[in-house]
Structure formats: C-alpha cells, structure tokens
Amino acid sequence: MIQKGLLFVVSGPSGVGKSTLCKTMVAQVPQTMLSVSFTTRGPRPDEQDGVDYCFIRESRFREMIQRDQFVEWAEVYGNLYGTPQRQLDEAMSQSTDVLLDIDAQGARQIMKRFPGAVYVFVTPPSLEALRTRLCGRALDSSDVIQRRLQSASEEIANFRSYHYLIRNEELTKATKELESIICAERVKTERLNTQWLRQKGLIEEPTIKENSTIV
C-alpha cells in the first residue's frame, strides 16, 4: 500500500470531546476524513450505523479479529471497538488525511505499526469538567460514567507518548489548535514533494559531481 495521506491519531479520555473535535475537522478542513470504527456497543439514539460506527455483534467482531481485519482493536468499558484495516488502507492510498478517534490502548497499538503517524492527546481542563461533560452528554449510565472517570487519570498520565497535547477547555480554541496541527504537519519539508522548486527555477537543477552524487 502506498500511503499518500497522513494519519492523525486523536486520543484522550472518554467525554473529553474527541469526536466533537474530529467531526469539526472533517467539516472544516478539506481533504480530511474520519475512520468509521466497528463496535459491539449498541447505537445511541442519535447514532447512525455506518456513519458514527458500524454496529456489529460480538461473534462477528471476534470473527474479524481472527481474520486479521483490524489494524487495532480494544475492549473499552466492556465493549469491543476496532479500526478496520481495509477502509484505512483505501483512505490512506488517496491523498486524504485520516483521523482516528480511538482510546489509549488503540493508540498504543497504532504507535507500533505507524511510527510516522501524528499523535494528539486531548485532555479536559479538570476531572470535574470531564464529569460534567459525561453527565451532560446524557448517553451513559452513572455506573458507566464512573468507570470512564476512573480510567481518565491513568490515560492522562501517559500524555508524553503523544506529539501534541490539546487542553479542551474552550472548544473554539481547541478546534483551532487541532486544525493548526493538521496544517503544520502537511507542510513539513520531509513530507513535501518539492520537485516544483527545481521546475520553476527556484533552486538549481541537480548537477552530477565527480563522485556521481546528485546535489
């Protein structure tokens, strides 16, 4: 597979605002797409199959694991979640940047397989703010919210494994920061095809030196 697009991994505690931020990127930043994960969790009232997640039974999920159809997968708060290999390959072979909104276990697996990806950790301004968001979202039971809050501190402790840290306090600022990261990563010299600089005469044509190295 020839990778043309960049891979951005956006991770952080549940309820911190990852999907809000990623969906805004896809809406605002051209040439970005969000990978649609598979999950055994049931759909929430506002979720659409194939758009927010592909909702499947556990037996089918386990079959996909056996067939090696996930780039990464993890059990998160009692449900299984995974990033499908085929869709990711297809997306990255086009010139579109792909965002993965995944938990910390998944991010660790992707770090091993895609060292060239860009890793962004999103943190809440405080645990209290996180609790307010999880309660405000009103989609999970108090038992589930409690479990999500307990894991949050452990996840935040590992923020140094990521390239960037976004404090999602004010959504507009956090959105701008994520957009800036994407834009900056796109213009890194190591990633750019700079042949046009020679074609336009902005740098000299390569000359062959005596030892045959092209400079």
Residue ranges binding ligand ADP (CB under 6 A): 14-20, 133, 136-137, 168, 171, 174
Cα gap 155→104, rounded to integer Å: 7
Strands 38-39 and 79-84: antiparallel
> What is the edge-to-edge ordering of all strands in the sheet holding 38-39?
54-55, 38-39, 79-84, 70-76
For residues 127 and 192, which CB has a smaller minimum distance to ligand ADP in the complex? 127
Tell which positions 143-182 bind ligand 5GP, by CB under 6 A: none
Q: Would you say 139 and 145 are in contact if contact means Cβ atoms under 8 Å apart?
A: no
Tell which positions 7-26 bind ligand 5GP, by CB under 6 A: 14, 18
* Residue 203 beta carbon to ligand ADP: minimum distance, rounded to whole angstroms: 44
Asked if 40 touches ligand 5GP (CB under 6 A), the answer is no
If phi > 0 it is left, if psi is from -120 to 50 it is alpha, else beta; for residue 212 that is: left
For residues 15 and 84, which CB has a smaller minimum distance to ligand ADP in the complex? 15
Partner from ligand 5GP, ligand ADP, none contacting 37, C-beta within 5 to 8 A by type:
ligand 5GP
Cα separations in angstroms, 182 against 6, 45, 158 = 9, 31, 22
Partner from ligand ADP, ligand 5GP, none contacting 133, C-beta within 5 to 8 A by type:
ligand ADP
Cα gap 124→168, rounded to integer Å: 5
For residues 20 and 79, which CB has a smaller minimum distance to ligand ADP in the complex? 20
Residues that bind ligand 5GP (CB under 6 A): 14, 18, 37, 41, 72, 74, 76, 81-83, 101-103, 105-106
